[in-house]
Structure 1
């Protein structure tokens, strides 16, 4: 395997010859793209992928755009792609990719056009970031004579903006989420009246042809479009907020138990979206009073959506949608490909495992996969599972049909994604992403496209990369015949490796100092970060500067079944070593989550609300583990053996002392990594039960311990650092124990541990053993098992937290206990997973690094001034971390004595003092002695359950 995975060049699973120009077929050679000279204006894994694909296609002399925010400013943050692209004339620098305002974005577009023209580039590749869905940018590229590798400006306008996409969907019979998509039109009607639109256009000197408008809505849209072109505001965010507030009142009254979602039309990846809580979540004597309180939040939420996307400037399209938030939704999407005339689909992806609208784990959903899963469920007698899978197949087929219909309606001439939410047996169109998706490889690993000569079926070529397909469509468009999709791999899964802490909160600023090589079957797309120094073969440090998103890499694998793909992903995550300075990633989270599904049901149907309750359950495990003193517990177990050992007490002491670290080291690792504990508990359910002071093992504790060392990637390997593996003397004991039980099971003819225990309980030697050998065997068994009682602490923690109540049902739905959905409890458990920085009682520290903002938006009042009193839960400041805006609220009530940070957009570090405060109540901090005493008391409760 390569020391670093350059996705397309080095991975045999996906490598193929893309040099169409070298084909012996004249028809195939027609579709060569070697005359393309693209400028790559995106960053992250997609930039490196595009470079690799272009190289394979024989597209030479492409260039890349670097943002000084991300790749130049920070030490050790130089774009890793430059390790392979060493020609400085092909590297071009800009301050950032998009600019913060409409004026800056327009300037950046012109700058990109100039760079392209000045350096001979004839095409633009924008990937999945920044302005890849910006119709204005695409139109500017087209007008400049540049070939945009992606959907054309017509498609961008028809489908790229959420409001227009929903209008198109309604016109083509595609089911959509109930809601309001014309907030700007409603604001315009409220301000000028439907009869005042022509006067509005005249007063603002807007050139509008009302004769082509079919109704008032089209007139409003025409006036608004003209105002955007003119760069003026005829309505502002306050007008839109007021209009949507009235709509929200109506919607909240009709459905008082429902929450609603506000979405700025240009948003993506969860940005520019906010949740409006249900009317009945507020206190009030009447429904009307509750509705008023709920709707009062709408104007500020509208503003937050726009500010987060930086679309609140003069002349920006500020439309915000408000639609019913379907709480039990699954998020599925269909890969769509078209050339402007034909349109086809390539199966689906389930992206329901997400948090803050950011996808985490994505899995393939294809017809072939579902057919096989249905057959397997029926063969196993799992009737409810089979029926659910059949319903899923019908939904997939409908979504694919609607995706192709919608793609044709918007004249899709590249690749796009038809995104849907699935609620029970219904599905709703949410939006179309007029770009390639981060998770597109999940699809391309399952399907490839066969383009066949209409005149000769034996004459064809196959495309396995969606980036390659984008280039083919940009270069040859309508000349490309509609392809046939061919199955490739049975299933695939992708884990997004992000710079986040244990609670999945963004964690910028860390430095990667070491990253293990790819393991077998791993497809790692990491922007080239783990590409070693080409001269010394040494890993090069990389600073995760955090100027943009939190994604570090995409990890993918495949399998014959979903279980195969998850098992392979688990092995990839197990063997991955990622270390560095101030480095936090979601590697541990993914390892635990994948094992949760392996242990509970691989075909489970999680909804988009699953992850936060799951994290809360993991937090409960950590909270309980924090209260257990393992060394104290082992000491008490040891004392019990000595008290009951009589003349053999000294021998028992020697045995237990020799085994202490063998048993406590992996448990300490699980206690330190609660995500690992969650995964381990999931795959070992039923291995042990506690009842009335008795321990009942269904699995041999020694074999479980051996499996645990492997699970923790602590296998014995000569030359491996001792801190990362089982110690040699412990390895000798454990290996001898495993071998002892393997031989014993074979000789006794048993395989299940309860049967083995029952046999060993007999004083009389069984057939094949003499009395002395049987006595020695029983003594060896007692010695190997001594001290393993401590391992039951894991079952105790699981029982105490009711971890198993978060479970998969026979119909593949997931039961989420109510206590895991309580917002305050969720916040508390997030703090258990990631304790806030230790602070003095008179100060508030930064919870994370990022950009500090003391106000909602430029020109608005700051949240708190010196001398202000604040209540617990009041907003103190906003921190922007990896392009996400997070309001930080006061953890307690008090008064601001001094504000320690000045200005907007100031860089802050985690743990930095931000405010000097005078709390209303003095915080009492327990002494170390009191904490230790409390842990021993909690540990005694566990010991009572096993001794």
Structure 2
């Protein structure tokens, strides 16, 4: 076993690797960018080395600097985590040339699976079923359009070097193909440095089921399957293991196919073989096809660990240090059911737009596994993936594990940034999901209900007024000598509080009056216990009570009106302007593309909110802009006669 390793990553996966390394008595070295100097993974590691600026290209993608940090600190091996350099064969070769061990597969194995088209040809040769499509080298747009026609719409355009939904577009009609192709290629070039794509048949009732494999370079085993069908923008939201509705016959067929795939390339370490499954007629052994192989540890690996009792990071360290596979196939068993939900800083109603901001408050439910790289007070940076945490639950049955997940999500508290927490909680309570009726289109079909504004309990509004008045901890502070004090409160609605006795307050808001009392076990409203908790910020109050409810605290001295400027298109987040599609004097209609902003490793198309004439283009392609920066201005609309 190694005595010291360096972790070439950041965030929750770096923290995850540190935890296992510490349990094995292995010292750890963290690397960090300027933006991560105070990050959680830096604090957890035994040593830490600065490697450059906040941009990944200036830090976490600098393989030479990372290798030098390993050599300087006496690390014997490098764990790549996932993302960044984890699937870069040149980095693997450089690590080994420096006399270090790469904790993962060989460069040859990574190359074999690195390009989707070549990987599918290899898998077909190994007897693994593959999805119908075009995987050739000809990247002429007209040729690709013809291939799409031959495959039959709808089709998927996918970056051959892609992953995580980047460089992927679904196309329903031939007339939309060229625009989608251009967008996919641009995103692929940015994310992977390779604009090449392949074309695949889009399966109408698809399920995304993947198999965890582990190899020693010669032999491999599988650790059963995970269902990752709940996705948005081709990125996973909630994963589970095992897959609902899985039969022993299909599990055996998928497991054997995954092992064949791993052994065909001499795979060493943890990897995932991803399959697309046609769930229209249930799970059948002749209705699954190889999609891709991820030659690294996956974000969702904790659900596999939960149902098998196996620490995959420990296996990685043991096999990389020269030990044989820790278990035979017949000794690996499924124990119960597990779920993982990905908590992100993102605006769901705005199309899952990544968000930034400071985590002013962060608390998780007790008794569940939480994988996180952040702490209260940390900032969600525009430079990296906006994941806050992974919340993992396990129970003897699927229903019990899902209920635990829903309860854990409802008890999680986040304030200071927009998150997908309410969306996740609703998804966990979705009756179709609860019944195991999952496919990759479920979120898209149900998005209106899943992202609708939450109903605010009147009790939460009343308690928010108390918090805005600063009385949520010491309500008796409102007494006067002769009579109870009734006073107005700066709140988003007209509101008044009146202290009526020891630890008792009457709140008037929204046309109602509420008798509130602070007992040793918390706040009661109208004689009903609430279990409410608070976070009071300078601009808003958040009440955690069957979800998070945010109420504005206006500054009574600020008399400026801040109405929406419908003639301005603003940057929704910090990012890089990739393209501008309009010029001054040009006429646009609602929904027309104005510009493309690249942020958090994704491209975001900004569209016209109304019809009008472009008055000014305030940015150029290549400009780095801050959140709220004006990009495009439309001419003012003429007043109606």
Normalised to the residue count of structure 2, the TM-score between the two structures is 0.79
Cα distance between partner residues in 2 of 1:923 and 1:615: 36
Contact 1:341 1:478 in 2 (8 A): no
Listed as ranges, the matches of 1:316-715 within 5 Å are 317-365=194-242, 389=245, 392-424=247-279, 425=284, 426-448=287-309, 464-476=310-322, 482=328, 484-487=330-333, 489-503=335-349, 505-520=352-367, 522-527=368-373, 529-530=374-375, 540-580=376-416, 583-597=417-431, 600=432, 602-618=434-450, 622=453
Structure 1 pair 481/248, CA: closer, same or farther in 2 (3 Å)?
same
Deviation track 1:806-853 (CA, whole Å, cap 9, x = no partner) reads xxxxxxxxxxxxxxxxxxxxxxxxxxxxxxx9523432333x212141
Deviation track 1:751-797 (CA, whole Å, cap 9, x = no partner) reads xxxxxxxxxxxxxxxxxxxxxxxxxxxxxxxxxxxxxxxxxxxxxxx
Deviation track 1:639-675 (CA, whole Å, cap 9, x = no partner) reads xxxxxxxxxxxxxxxxxxxxxx669979x9xxxxxxx
How many residue pairs were aligned? 553
Which secondary structure state, in structure 1, belongs to the residue aligned with residue 31 of structure 2? strand
Deviation at residue 413 of structure 1 after TM alignment: 0.7
Alignment correspondent of 2:168: 273
2:631 to 914, 917, 920: 914
Structure 1 pair 471/301, CA: closer, same or farther in 2 (3 Å)?
same
Structure 1 pair 251/845, CA: closer, same or farther in 2 (3 Å)?
closer
Deviation at residue 254 of structure 1 after TM alignment: 5.5
Structure 1 pair 909/298, CA: closer, same or farther in 2 (3 Å)?
closer
Deviation track 1:253-301 (CA, whole Å, cap 9, x = no partner) reads 552xx2211222221111121223323xxxxxxxxxxxxx344436514
Cα distance between partner residues in 2 of 1:95 and 1:604: 45
Contact 1:65 1:94 in 2 (8 A): no
Cα distance between partner residues in 2 of 1:393 and 1:436: 25
Cα distance between partner residues in 1 of 2:587 and 2:273: 49
Cα distance between partner residues in 2 of 1:546 and 1:160: 27
Cα distance between partner residues in 1 of 2:517 and 2:414: 19
Deviation at residue 921 of structure 1 after TM alignment: 7.0
Cα distance between partner residues in 2 of 1:168 and 1:152: 17
Structure 1 pair 44/254, CA: closer, same or farther in 2 (3 Å)?
closer
Question: Which structure has greater strand proportion?
Answer: 2
Deviation at residue 113 of structure 1 after TM alignment: 2.2
Deviation at residue 125 of structure 1 after TM alignment: 0.6
Cα distance between partner residues in 1 of 2:177 and 2:220: 41
- Of structures 1 and 2, the one with the larger relative CO (CA 8 A, separation 6+) is 1
Which secondary structure state, in structure 1, belongs to the residue aligned with residue 343 of structure 2? strand
Alignment correspondent of 2:507: none
Alignment correspondent of 2:25: 58
Unaligned runs of 5+ in 2: 466-515, 532-561
Listed as ranges, the matches of 1:155-194 within 5 Å are 155-183=109-137, 186=138
Alignment correspondent of 1:134: 88
Structure 1 pair 305/263, CA: closer, same or farther in 2 (3 Å)?
farther
Contact 1:274 1:305 in 2 (8 A): no
Deviation at residue 563 of structure 1 after TM alignment: 0.5
Q: Does 1:93 align with 2:51?
A: yes
Contact 2:274 2:292 in 1 (8 A): yes
Deviation at residue 574 of structure 1 after TM alignment: 2.0
Cα distance between partner residues in 2 of 1:838 and 1:121: 56
How large is the Cα RMSD of the aligned pairs?
A: 3.1
Contact 2:6 2:29 in 1 (8 A): yes
Deviation at residue 879 of structure 1 after TM alignment: 1.8
Cα distance between partner residues in 2 of 1:136 and 1:867: 49
Contact 1:98 1:131 in 2 (8 A): no
Cα distance between partner residues in 2 of 1:571 and 1:154: 45
Contact 2:154 2:170 in 1 (8 A): yes
Unaligned runs of 5+ in 1: 1-32, 73-77, 187-239, 280-292, 312-316, 371-388, 449-463, 531-539, 631-660, 669-714, 736-836, 856-861, 925-947
Q: Does 1:44 align with 2:16?
A: no
Q: Does 1:303 align with 2:137?
A: no
Deviation at residue 66 of structure 1 after TM alignment: 0.7
Structure 1 pair 97/396, CA: closer, same or farther in 2 (3 Å)?
farther
Task: Please say which structure displays the higher CA radius of gyration.
Answer: 1
Structure 1 pair 664/79, CA: closer, same or farther in 2 (3 Å)?
closer
Contact 1:245 1:295 in 2 (8 A): no
Deviation at residue 330 of structure 1 after TM alignment: 0.5
Contact 1:331 1:350 in 2 (8 A): yes
Which secondary structure state, in structure 2, belongs to the residue aligned with residue 411 of structure 1? coil
Deviation at residue 500 of structure 1 after TM alignment: 1.1
Contact 1:50 1:467 in 2 (8 A): yes
Deviation at residue 412 of structure 1 after TM alignment: 0.8
Contact 2:9 2:60 in 1 (8 A): no
Cα distance between partner residues in 2 of 1:144 and 1:662: 63
Deviation at residue 421 of structure 1 after TM alignment: 0.7
Question: Which structure has greater helix proportion?
Answer: 1
Contact 2:54 2:383 in 1 (8 A): no
Deviation track 1:668-696 (CA, whole Å, cap 9, x = no partner) reads 9xxxxxxxxxxxxxxxxxxxxxxxxxxxx
Alignment correspondent of 2:494: none
Q: Does 1:245 align with 2:121?
A: no
Q: Does 1:873 align with 2:597?
A: no
Contact 2:348 2:423 in 1 (8 A): yes
Which secondary structure state, in structure 1, belongs to the residue aligned with residue 87 of structure 2? coil
Cα distance between partner residues in 2 of 1:571 and 1:399: 32
Alignment correspondent of 2:573: 849
Cα distance between partner residues in 2 of 1:84 and 1:663: 37
Contact 1:867 1:896 in 2 (8 A): yes
